Structure 1
Amino acid sequence: MTFPLLPAEISARCERSLDRYRDRLTELSHAIHAHPEIAFAEHDAVRRCAEVLAGEGFRVETGVAGLDTAFRAEYGEGELVVVFCAEYDALPELGHACGHNMIAAIGVGAGLLLRDVADELGITVRVLGTPAEESGGGKLVLLGAGVFADAGLCLMAHPAPAENCAPRSLAVLDLKVRYTGRASHAAVAPHAGVNAADALTVAQVAIGLARQHFRPKQMVHGIVTHGGDSPNVIPARTEALFYLRAADLESLAELEKRVVACLQAGATATGCTADIRPDTPAYAELRHDEWLVAAYRTAAEVLGRPLHSPEAERDMPTGSTDMGNVSRVVPSIHPVLAVDCGDAVNHQPEFAAACVSASADRAVGDGALALAWAAAAAAADPVQRARLLNGVRDRA
């Protein structure tokens, strides 16, 4: 295979590196899958990723930005810093039903493939271990600590049922509400109680009615995390967690005002007090770098990935990611790689099983090579290299 945006020898060297590391990347993906760890607790995954990278000459630092399960691994001394993100957190109860075991292996793999051409391309290759994408926003912590400040470009890839070179993720905010009322015997003295469960019911009804007036791509979904303690006691405390999603941060802020009003209505109607606050910082929508997307699409075509047209990609459903916040600061891409999963979708047990299939293993190798090729092409192109370096200087 030949990637047309690179000199033939550099393209071939990346491909030969994949041949050398493919089995190790598959092993890494399967090992992380077999030991799922939720947000900010991904110690085994960090150890495994760090061991692979350190063994190949990367300078590895763990505990980055005060996060026990974040790491930074670097190779080379070039002016242009190429960042690959490795996610590895799992979902509670479902394990790796979003395929972050694959994301970690792809990020590590892309770093390894560029290692052999780093000096020739004049780049520093950086693999960042970014915890807590599912809940907690590890990348936001790293952004705030300046870990991305010198990054010229940032790349990662995610598995899903269908291929998408430039998925349009949604902005998202987690809102937690706690209602406080007054307990009383539900039969002997219900009139003496203030029912916090009723407050939550009123709020849910208000949100349900408000949905008719939501703008396109605005949505709300939530769960009750505490609904009371006993049927014969008027609940004095209830809690719920809602996810608010919208096309972008601006639309999300508008939706937040509407939902907060619905939550406050529950307290007003029942006489409870309401404590409403974000559970994690807001995730922004993805903003893909057009040139990097085009380079990645070319790489995916060379590899024979099952691509869709850009027009069809725009209509595909998608979720949310803290990579969106990175993409608003650093030129980035976050393509999606298809795995054979039948009728399953992300966040289902069947999708977790598919993320260690032969299809998933192929996607790990293809993703690592496509990201490496796209990043190398940007570094080798004088115009793009200058653009990316100027972007770093402009942010300084």
Structure 2
Amino acid sequence: MYPDPALMKQKIKETVDRLDPDLRELSQRIHANPELSFQEVQAQQWLTEPLEAAGFQVEKGISGLDTSFRAVWEGQSGGPTIALLAEYDALPRIGHACGHNLIGTSAVGAALALKEACPDLPGRIIVLGTPAEEEGGGKIIMVNDGVFNEMDAVMMCHPQQKTMVLRGALACVDATFTFHGKQAHAASSPEKGISALDALVNAYAGINSLRPYLKDDVRVNGIITKGGDAPNVVPELAEAVYIIRAKTVEELKIVMDKVYRVVRHAAEGVGATVDITEGLIYAERNNNKTLAGLFQQNLEDMGIEVHDPPQTGGVGSSDIGNVSQITAAIHPYIRLGDATTHTPEFARLAGAEEGMIELNRAAKALALTAFDLYADKAALQQVRDEFEAWKQQKDEG
């Protein structure tokens, strides 16, 4: 269909460059107006406006999530369905310190460039707006609703300290432990009270004592969010919030069971009770190596050096892991300075010139890799074959 793919790729890159001023303005507008998870009303509107103007069919409120969206452009029949994922939620107090203003805008930019440069493309381009990555697991809700079942491949690109295409991510869950005791005067009648705080502190110490007996890649991190109101009152309520991580969902559930047993025994030991409230489980990331290889080649063709991911440690969690259990997916990274994510310095970079350079590169790499799948049926089949083989092996245990 495309006798000269290299010529088409050059056209795609030139189109991204032509769109660059508008993409910069969009990204910086989102950066200057950070919105927390499930509250991304302005970002949703701003990201969908250029897609609607370009002829994409836009639907908002996917899977019951008010700030989600799906923008679809139907090309020629007979081709694949490729989704570019947009994230756009910010962090409390430090704004876009994870660079989601860049992630959302790069997905939009890639889709606009593909449609403009390749109007006769076979297949569908989807920009999927996925809210609440930071807190709430928007993609998990959408996975459970079947949103990704129709998609042949899914991509997004994240800013980071290094450019990497195969960095993994741990399975994780957040858990809130709410301890209930009995209030009493701490001096005149302490024997009539049951300290919810003592139960929590015992649980905290007990969880820490698990460390020597957990695998090296397990992470159990927690904070105390409620510990009482006055030192002369036996606390009747205490609360802690934890994030538990492990290599796979299966291993995560084993760790969760150990932690929960410690928590329940700590409450029982002082006569308190405890309620355990779980968030959604974020699955580990299954990077599609074939798709990642295409992405890496496009980066290297642009003169961008790609680094190997760390062999151990140095990884977090993301709800794209759940997507990668459903279809072929990648979550590569493009370098944005030396600052680590979730810091004020990274937030500054995400709105600065360094961030705009990353945005341009990400939009190009996403568009070029999607083009590879539209233009090369053999490459698409290899991506799908790898995913189906992985899925079969996983299902067989």
**Aligned equivalents of 1:121, 1:80: Cα separation in 2:** 10
Letter in 1 for 2:293: A
Instruction: Name the counterpart of 1:333.
Output: 330
Compared with structure 1, are the counterparts of its residues 190 and 393 closer, same or farther at alpha carbon in structure 2 (3 Å cutoff)? closer
Q: Which of residues 320, 323, 341 is equivalent to 1:323?
A: 320
Report the CA distance between 1:108 and its aligned residue. Answer: 1.0
Q: Which of residues 17, 20, 24 is equivalent to 1:19?
A: 17
What's the Cα RMSD here? 2.0
**Aligned equivalents of 2:80, 2:210: Cα separation in 1:** 48
Compared with structure 1, are the counterparts of its residues 108 and 52 closer, same or farther at alpha carbon in structure 2 (3 Å cutoff)? same
Instruction: Name the counterpart of 1:374.
Output: 369
Query: 3-state SS of the aligned residue for 1:15?
Result: helix
**Aligned equivalents of 1:363, 1:52: Cα separation in 2:** 20
Query: 3-state SS of the aligned residue for 1:191?
Result: helix
Instruction: Name the counterpart of 2:188.
Output: 188
Instruction: Name the counterpart of 2:31.
Output: 33
Compared with structure 1, are the counterparts of its residues 125 and 392 closer, same or farther at alpha carbon in structure 2 (3 Å cutoff)? farther
Instruction: Name the counterpart of 2:341.
Output: 346
CA contact (8 A) 1:76 1:118 kept: no
**Aligned equivalents of 1:390, 1:56: Cα separation in 2:** 33
**Aligned equivalents of 1:104, 1:249: Cα separation in 2:** 27
Compared with structure 1, are the counterparts of its residues 392 and 292 closer, same or farther at alpha carbon in structure 2 (3 Å cutoff)? closer
Report the CA distance between 1:306 and its aligned residue. Answer: 3.4
**Aligned equivalents of 2:55, 2:7: Cα separation in 1:** 22
Normalising to structure 1: TM-score of the pair?
0.93
**Aligned equivalents of 2:232, 2:349: Cα separation in 1:** 45
Compared with structure 1, are the counterparts of its residues 233 and 74 closer, same or farther at alpha carbon in structure 2 (3 Å cutoff)? same
Compared with structure 1, are the counterparts of its residues 393 and 74 closer, same or farther at alpha carbon in structure 2 (3 Å cutoff)? farther
**Aligned equivalents of 1:393, 1:284: Cα separation in 2:** 18
Letter in 2 for 1:367: A
Query: 3-state SS of the aligned residue for 2:183?
Result: coil
- Give 1:225-264 correspondences, 5 Å limit: 225-264=225-264
Task: Render the CA deviation track for 1:59-83: whole Å, top value 9, x for unaligned.
Answer: 1111111110000001124441110
**Aligned equivalents of 2:173, 2:155: Cα separation in 1:** 23
Letter in 2 for 1:10: M
Instruction: Name the counterpart of 2:274.
Output: 274
**Aligned equivalents of 1:90, 1:376: Cα separation in 2:** 30
Query: 3-state SS of the aligned residue for 2:217?
Result: coil
Instruction: Name the counterpart of 1:8.
Output: 6
**Aligned equivalents of 1:22, 1:125: Cα separation in 2:** 20
**Aligned equivalents of 2:222, 2:313: Cα separation in 1:** 23
Query: 3-state SS of the aligned residue for 2:59?
Result: strand
- Give 1:109-188 correspondences, 5 Å limit: 109-117=109-117, 119-188=119-188
**Aligned equivalents of 2:325, 2:21: Cα separation in 1:** 35
Compared with structure 1, are the counterparts of its residues 262 and 393 closer, same or farther at alpha carbon in structure 2 (3 Å cutoff)? closer
Compared with structure 1, are the counterparts of its residues 152 and 70 closer, same or farther at alpha carbon in structure 2 (3 Å cutoff)? same
**Aligned equivalents of 1:307, 1:241: Cα separation in 2:** 37
**Aligned equivalents of 1:223, 1:381: Cα separation in 2:** 50
Query: 3-state SS of the aligned residue for 1:294?
Result: helix
Structure 1, unmatched stretches of 5+, are none
Report the CA distance between 1:51 and its aligned residue. Answer: 0.8
Instruction: Name the counterpart of 2:395.
Output: none
Letter in 1 for 2:49: E
CA contact (8 A) 2:291 2:383 kept: no
CA contact (8 A) 2:84 2:155 kept: yes
CA contact (8 A) 2:172 2:246 kept: yes
Report the CA distance between 1:206 and its aligned residue. Answer: 0.5
**Aligned equivalents of 1:6, 1:353: Cα separation in 2:** 41
The answer to which of 7-16 and 386-395 deviates more is: 386-395
CA contact (8 A) 1:80 1:389 kept: no
Query: 3-state SS of the aligned residue for 2:81?
Result: strand
CA contact (8 A) 2:197 2:227 kept: yes
Report the CA distance between 1:386 and its aligned residue. Answer: 4.0
Count residues in correspondence. 386
> Does 2:41 align with 1:43?
yes
**Aligned equivalents of 1:297, 1:318: Cα separation in 2:** 20
**Aligned equivalents of 2:381, 2:265: Cα separation in 1:** 54
Query: 3-state SS of the aligned residue for 1:120?
Result: coil
Query: 3-state SS of the aligned residue for 1:96?
Result: coil
CA contact (8 A) 2:173 2:280 kept: yes
Report the CA distance between 1:274 and its aligned residue. Answer: 0.7
Query: 3-state SS of the aligned residue for 2:281?
Result: strand
Instruction: Name the counterpart of 1:204.
Output: 204
